[in-house]
Structure 1
Amino acid sequence: MKTCLKLFILFLMFSGTVWAEVEPVKVQVPETTAWIGQRVPFFVELRSAGSFAGAASFDLPQLPGSLLLNVGAPVMDTQIIEGQSWNLQVHEFALFSQKSGDLEIPKISVRFSRRDAFTGPAMEIQAEVPSWQVHIKRPPGTKSIPFLITTETLELSENWEPEPGPTQAGTIFKRTIVQQASGVSGMALVPAPVYAPDSVRVYSGQAETNDKLERGDFFGERRETLTYLLQKSGTVTLPEIRYVWWNPKTEQLQSLILPAVSLEVTPLSTVSMPGKIVSRYAWLWLLVLATGLVAIQWRRLAGWTTHFREFINPPQRSAARKLLQACRLHDAAIAEHAWSAWRNVQTTGFTPTAELSSSVLDLQRHLYGFKPTESWRGDSLAKAFSAQLDAASRHSRYTPVSILPLLNPGE
């Protein structure tokens, strides 16, 4: 009897030693080398001797110029580890980076609950996903492209409302651009540029992103609407928009182009009505005229006040001040709204610096990512934006530079 008891105690000690040696978390990285903008998949294994309880929680870090996403639902599996059967909960993640060189992914905190058997109380486990490194390569001939995606296929479509055609000053056109790419998250796709002549105001709305996982294949979609306000008459030409991406299979740059659009814009005209109708409604026009005369002085005063306010506080300066203030308060929603307002009043061909593009990408990832982060700090965006303003103040004239090079520069 004593011998059996000793053997049982030794068995428990041996089992405890085996369980202690098995790490609760393991990371698997199939590929440690990737192109800029290419999806880098990695997998996190959570281990339990019994069943899992509840959902796991990961504290994903914010990496400058990079996007880190949790993809899909976890997959359950079993594996023999140290001679015993363990239940596995495998979580898939995707990394997209716009920075070349060696990138270190720091340890990721994870919390989950597990049981020692299939029934009984659950124990909360707090662990860390081990850190790992990946080498990001920049494709040759792409140094002038601050934002580049890597995919084998990219589909591009656009829809106008109303359809482009002869129109009058003051008309508003809405242009919805949809990108669809394989192996790329919608948040990792390049934002639509806001190029337009000086006589056209362009407003960029908030992008809608959607990611799908079908039979192991990853598809991303980005949908955004540009609003064009035609301010002056004449012939207006909206320049073509070229989307360039790197094909990792052929190792070549490829592109798709949304063609340029020309519009004949006439001044606002007053349509004359037949004499009988005019005389019938003459009293109505007189009433409108009288009301206008009463209000004209007030409107003139209000107009002077508005012009004076815009003179001493231009929209560009106001938006910049709001953006910096939102960064100091770490308010992501206000910062994104202020950034859009500031971006919309920039000159044609404006291109942000790589640092500013990276910081804005971090902001958008926080707000619209597949699994948004819990916190955002505006320090890096404020620093990059201030540097952009300082650089602009040193140059009285800005020379537009396209962020997307030609496929055949020598031609």
Structure 2
Amino acid sequence: MRTAGSLYMSAMWNKSFWVLTKFLRHKRGGGNSWPSKFLWVVVFCCLLQPAFAQTLWSEVQLSKRRAYVGEPVQVTVRVYTSTWFTKGVDPGNIKVNGAYTVFFRNVSTSTSRNGKTYPGVEMIYHVFPFANKDVRFPAVEIAVESPADGGYKGKPHTVTTKERVIEVRPIPPGFDMSSWLVSSDLSVRQEWSADLKDVKVGDVIQRRIIRNADNTVPQLIPPVAWDSLPGVSQYPGRSDVQNIRTKTAIGAVRTEVTRYLFEKQGEVEIPEMVFTWWNPRQQQLYKRTLPSVKVLVKPNPDLGMLETLKDSLLTAQKAEVSAAEEKAPLTFLGLSPEKLVAIIVLMAISFYFLMKFLPRLVKRYQEKRQRYLRSEPYFFDQFKRAAKNGESKKGLNALYRWIDQLGLQEPTLQYFAEGWGSPGLKHYVRQWSRVDGKDLKLDEDFVKELSVSREIFLNASGEIPSALTEAIWINP
């Protein structure tokens, strides 16, 4: 029996040969030219091309482009073919940096283009961001097997998807990150290992809290914060987590245990516990409450075993912690090996550039500093500092040292004032000349008038070159 592919190929060949034969017969009666024959042979080959061409493509769809930390985003990856798939399509679980990724299920699908139906496979992932930074669902190379159009034997192909970005929003203001949980629903229940109505000093009672959250992963369910109780020692145990996945939904269960050792007689109140979760569809915060419990601890004449009980509970707690640490991933100072290597490499690169460019920066700073120490602004700053501190003699020396730096034809204050001095400065210089400079006061007004005159001089003369390194004569 002939397959559908072979029948299709036969029909295409028959049609093509019929068109070519009809054309050649028509040409035999109306002239024969090689260019026209060549052109029609090309047309003939084009008619055969659909029998061998094949179409494969992929699509990536996000259920939402923005999500809170811990909020699930459904990512649907679709692969289509113009024939069919001869082997199952399964790219496996995809690693997404900054998020937990759970493969949900495969679904057969189809789409239509230009009146033709294309079969496909739909792969659904749930992505849960766990950090406050954008998540990139990476491009994925998917290996498929599909026959060519008109064929029947599957051939290997690789279809590459496009990268998609999920914008991650921080938790709403006013919420505590340590208790933040995103879920469509949360159920909470607790179990006690003994009757709380009959408790004596030295009794050990185990409390188990089980939380079942829908549409999340156990890593995102926050741990229980156990309250300290007066007269009671607590020994928390190791948490137990479990993934739940059905054909229609995913969820998680987190179970936590603690042991209460009642050490004193009297009434003990175990406070209520409130567990909250954020419903992304309703955009609301919900809560479940375990009510408070009052325990009346009765006296116990046999208290000698109390210390023995403490030692046994501590030993059991350490054993559970050790078992949890063995299962925990390898870390150093709270960092994974990958992050630690990245930090070391970054520090090495930074140290390399520091050693390479630091001497240049230091040399450039020193040169700039030396230029400043020989410049006009430096000597004028020295004068202002001395005048501000009321040091008359030191201020006068600094004043004339600054005047020497100006490169005047006559390095005196009178010459400077006549050429560029403000009216106020000229007034000061005339008074100073009448008293031979003995009662000259370097007060605030004098410094102000000299500063104004300096600006006039600089605007007229431009930048003052730095002093030479050789000794410079200072006008007494």
TM-score range, shorter chain: 0.5 to 0.7
- Deviation readout 1:288-340 (Å, 9 max, x if unpaired): xxxxxxxxxxxxxxxx9x9xxx9xxx959x959x94xx6xxxxxxx226x99x
Q: 2:295 aligns with which of 240, 263, 284?
A: 263
Preserved CA contact (<8 Å) 1:172 1:228: yes
Give 3-state SS (helix, strand or coil) of 2:224's partner.
coil
Q: How has the CA–CA distance of structure 1 residues 113 and 14 changed in structure 2, closer, same or farther, with 3 Å as cutoff?
A: closer
Contact (CA 8 Å) 1:51, 1:116: kept in 2 or not?
no
- Structure 1 residues 35, 382: closer, same or farther in 2, change over 3 A? same
Q: Which of 263, 274, 288 is the aligned partner of 1:232?
A: 263
Give, in angstroms, the shift of residue 133 of structure 1: 0.9
- The structure richer in helix per residue is 2
* Corresponding letter in the other structure for 1:3: L
For 1:9 and 1:335, the matched residues in 2 are separated by: 64
Q: Cα gap change, 1:163/1:192 in structure 2, threshold over 3 Å: closer, same or farther? A: farther
Name structure 2 gaps, 5 residues minimum.
Answer: 1-16, 22-40, 304-310, 344-476
Q: CA deviation at 1:81?
A: 4.0
Aligned alpha-carbon RMSD (Å)? 4.3
* 2:192 partner amino acid: W
Q: Distance in 2 between matches of 1:258 and 1:241?
A: 5
Query: What does residue range 244-263 of structure 1 map to in structure 2 within 5 Å?
Result: 244-263=276-295
The correspondence for 1:113, drawn from 145, 149, 162, is 145
The alpha-carbon deviation at position 6 of structure 1 amounts to: 5.7
Residue 193, structure 1, aligned to residue 224, structure 2 = yes
Distance 1:146 1:205 in 2: 16
Matches within 5 A, 1:7-406: 9-14=45-50, 19=55, 22-23=56-57, 25-48=58-81, 49-64=83-98, 66-71=99-104, 73-81=105-113, 84-116=116-148, 120-142=152-174, 144-146=176-178, 148-168=180-200, 169-181=202-214, 184-187=215-218, 189-197=220-228, 199-214=233-248, 218=249, 220-230=251-261, 232-234=263-265, 235-265=267-297, 269-270=301-302, 319=322, 323=325, 334-335=327-328, 379-380=338-339
Aligned equivalents of 1:94 and 1:315: distance in 2? 36
* 1:9 alignment partner, SS class: helix
Deviation at 1:229, TM superposition (A): 4.3
Larger Rg belongs to: 2
Aligned match of 1:388 = none
SS in 1 for 2:197: coil
Amino acid at match of 1:77: T
Q: Distance in 1 between matches of 2:139 and 2:52?
A: 26
Shift of 1:61: 1.1
> Residue type matched to 1:10 in 2?
C
Distance of 1:28 and 1:192 partners within structure 2 = 33
| Pairwise CA distance, 1:27 | 0.8
Question: Which whole-Å deviations, capped at 9, do the CAs of 1:103-137 have from their partners, x for residues lacking one?
Answer: 22222343343334798443333443321111222
**1:186 and 1:211 in contact (8 A); partners too:** no
C-alpha spacing 1:381/1:192, structure 2 compared with 1 (3 Å): farther
1:141 partner amino acid: P
Residues 221/59 of structure 1: CA separation in 2 closer, same or farther (3 Å cut)? closer
TM-score by length of 1: 0.57
What are the Cα deviations for residues 189-229 of structure 1, in whole angstroms up to 9, with x where unaligned? 51441514371111033212313344xxx352414141414
Cα distance change of structure 1 residues 40 and 50 upon mapping to structure 2, 3 Å threshold:
same
Give the structure with the higher percent strand: 1
TM-score, normalization: structure 2?
0.50
In structure 2, the CA distance between the partners of 1:110 and 1:232, relative to structure 1 (3 Å rule), is farther
> Equivalents in 2 of 1:119, 1:260: separation in Å?
71
Q: Is this contact kept in 2: 1:59–1:110, CA < 8 A? A: no
Q: Which residue number corresponds to residue 370 of structure 1?
A: none
Task: Name the SS for the 2:91 alignment partner.
Answer: strand
Could you give the per-residue CA deviations for residues 175-199 of structure 1, whole angstroms, max 9, x where no partner exists?
1413233xx2243651441514371
- The residue type equivalent to 2:20 in the other structure is T
Alpha-carbon distance between aligned partners in 1 of 2:68 and 2:146, rounded to the nearest angstrom: 38
Q: Distance in 2 between matches of 1:122 and 1:163?
A: 67
Shift of 1:17: 5.6
Say which SS state the counterpart of residue 166 (structure 2) adopts. Answer: strand
Is the 1:103–1:136 Cα contact (8 Å) retained in structure 2?
yes
Runs of 5+ consecutive residues of structure 1 not aligned to the other structure = 272-303, 327-333, 340-354, 360-376, 385-411
Contact 1:53 1:115 (C-alpha < 8 Å) held by counterparts: no
How far 1:12 sits from its partner (Å)?
A: 4.3
Aligned counterparts of 1:261 and 1:381: Cα–Cα separation in 2:
46
| CA distance 1:55–1:102, shift in 2 (3 Å) | closer
Would the alpha carbon gap of residues 111 and 239 (structure 1) be closer, same or farther in structure 2, given more than 3 Å must change? farther
In structure 2, C-alpha distance between the alignment counterparts of 1:173 and 1:258, rounded to whole Å: 16
Q: Does the 8 A contact of 1:240 with 1:257 survive in 2?
A: yes
